A = this chain, B = another copy of it.
Amino acid sequence: MASVIDDLRGIIAKLRSELEEQKKSTHTARERIAHMSAEVVDSNPYSRLMALQRMNIVKEYERIRDKTVAIVGIGGVGSVTADMLTRCGIGKLILFDYDKVELANMNRLFFTPDQAGLSKVEAAARTLSFINPDVRIETHNYNITTVENFNHFLTTISKNSLEGKSVDLILSCVDNFEARMAINAACNELNLFWFESGVSENAVSGHIQFIRPGDTACFACAPPLVVAENIDERTLKRDGVCAASLPTTMGITAGILVQNALKYLLAFGEVSDYLGYNAMNDFFPKMALKPNPQCDDRHCLLRQKEFQARPKQVAAVIEEAPSEPLHPVNEWGIEVMGDDELSQEDQQKDKQTSLEVGAGLRLAYEAPEKTETDVAAPIAGDVGADASLDDLIAQMKSM
């Protein structure tokens, strides 16, 4: 009998050590590191980042530890965005999503098949904390577009930074129009800088847009710009067809998003106002977008007045960024009419508000033609008289 007990105890000891080993290999990563060091040793996860200082790229890399970034949408772009910022040693991430991981997401980076069924924010938080335990992760598993959640979102981004103040930057990685409009409204109200990002439904283009309330066009100022791919739009939208996606396009979009976020947060290089990516021909259009003095968002109008009344602050943050002309090439299929194609009346209306769309870009949808009393929308484009408002809303919703 005693030997049976000994045997059983032996089995227990073995199982315990096996379990310990198993847990160790999956849940312990490394101890927290109090201060970022530039020491060049294999065991220092920050040596290659701190090297940016010695190479005169970034002045004070450690400042990244003081920064809080909110990411809305933890899908194909948002998860890689969070991964990159975590590996860069960002101070705090606040993640918003209400979706679950599915096997159908496995064609994009970051999530793994064993996470199917978990909420995206929970699965992401686990992986990110495992990769870098120095990063504080806060998660919110809800849809920001409902009234109650929107208010909570507003409070969170205005108070939950590391210092209990508003976050340093918001990155939009959502896949729908309503969520983008919600982020836009919140950022206009709170006067917070944010980046919008997106990838096309056919998986072969993406873009990022830096929105500084009052200084640049907000998301409500004009129809959003997307990269023109010269692909027949009619092949894209059919019943029962899911959007295509590629880990490449998503990864590149996340990469240019985080790279520009780092340039802004750590004050190096030149932050792009708008950068597009067309995978079919490796074309990367850039442009700047001025705010619309007739924007429907009242907070946007308020920010515009404030911005005009003060000396340019952003120029001080991005000190060494020279303004640069757009590429003069024009062989990429511009889908927006030039000034000379507009009627004189249109030209007059557009005088103050004209949105010049760069080569290779097109507007995601056409703006509704407004009545005289409603003031014209700032679109230098072919405003279709026969496009009904219902059609436009349907187009917007399907973005």
Chain A contacts to B: CB under 8 angstroms: 1, 4-5, 8-9, 11-12, 15-16, 18-19, 22-26, 28-30, 40-49, 51-52, 54-57, 80, 83-84, 87-89, 102-104, 106-109, 112-114, 116, 130-132, 201-204, 231-232, 235-236, 238, 240-249, 251-252, 254-256, 258-260, 262-263, 268-270, 272, 275, 279-282, 284, 286, 321, 324-325, 327-329, 331
Q: How far does the Cβ of A330 sit from chain B's closest Cβ, in whole Å?
A: 11
Q: How far does the Cβ of A272 sit from chain B's closest Cβ, in whole Å?
A: 5
Q: How far does the Cβ of A246 sit from chain B's closest Cβ, in whole Å?
A: 7
Which chain B residues lie closer than 8 Å to A203 at the CB level? Answer: 48, 51-52, 55, 57
A272-B51 Cα distance, complex, nearest whole Å: 31
A277-B236 Cα distance, complex, nearest whole Å: 30
Are B260 and A270 in contact (CB-based, < 8 A)?
no
Q: How far does the Cβ of A228 sit from chain B's closest Cβ, in whole Å?
A: 14
Are A104 and B44 in contact (CB-based, < 8 A)?
yes
Are B114 and A26 in contact (CB-based, < 8 A)?
yes
Are A202 and B55 in contact (CB-based, < 8 A)?
yes
Q: How far does the Cβ of A188 sit from chain B's closest Cβ, in whole Å?
A: 25
Tell whether A29 pairs with B232 under 8 Å between CB atoms, given A251-B255, A281-B270.
no
Can you name 14 A-B pairs with beta carbons within 8 Å?
A25-B26, A30-B103, A40-B242, A43-B104, A48-B242, A48-B245, A49-B107, A84-B251, A248-B258, A251-B252, A251-B255, A270-B280, A270-B281, A281-B324
Count chain B CB atoms within 10 A of each CB in A42, A107, A130, A279 and give the residue with the most: A107
Q: A5-B8, A87-B106 are in contact. List 18 more A-B contacts (CB 8 A).
A: A8-B8, A11-B12, A22-B26, A24-B114, A29-B114, A40-B241, A42-B104, A48-B242, A52-B202, A52-B246, A54-B241, A57-B202, A83-B109, A204-B269, A256-B282, A259-B279, A263-B279, A284-B284
Quickly give the copy total for this chain: 2
A102-B47 Cα distance, complex, nearest whole Å: 11
Which chain B residues lie closer than 8 Å to A51 at the CB level? Answer: 203, 241-245
Which chain B residues lie closer than 8 Å to A327 at the CB level? Answer: 327, 329
Which chain B residues lie closer than 8 Å to A40 at the CB level? Answer: 240-242
Are B324 and A112 in contact (CB-based, < 8 A)?
no
Tell whether A256 pairs with B252 under 8 Å between CB atoms, given A42-B104, A286-B282, A331-B324.
yes
Which chain B residues lie closer than 8 Å to A83 at the CB level? Answer: 109, 247
Which of chain B's residues has its CB closest to A278's CB? Answer: B269
Which chain B residues lie closer than 8 Å to A321 at the CB level? Answer: 281
Are A103 and B49 in contact (CB-based, < 8 A)?
no
Which chain B residues lie closer than 8 Å to A30 at the CB level? Answer: 103, 113
Which chain B residues lie closer than 8 Å to A282 at the CB level? Answer: 256, 259-260, 270, 272, 275, 284, 286
Which of chain B's residues has its CB closest to A40's CB? Answer: B242
Are A251 and B80 in contact (CB-based, < 8 A)?
yes
A321-B178 Cα distance, complex, nearest whole Å: 37
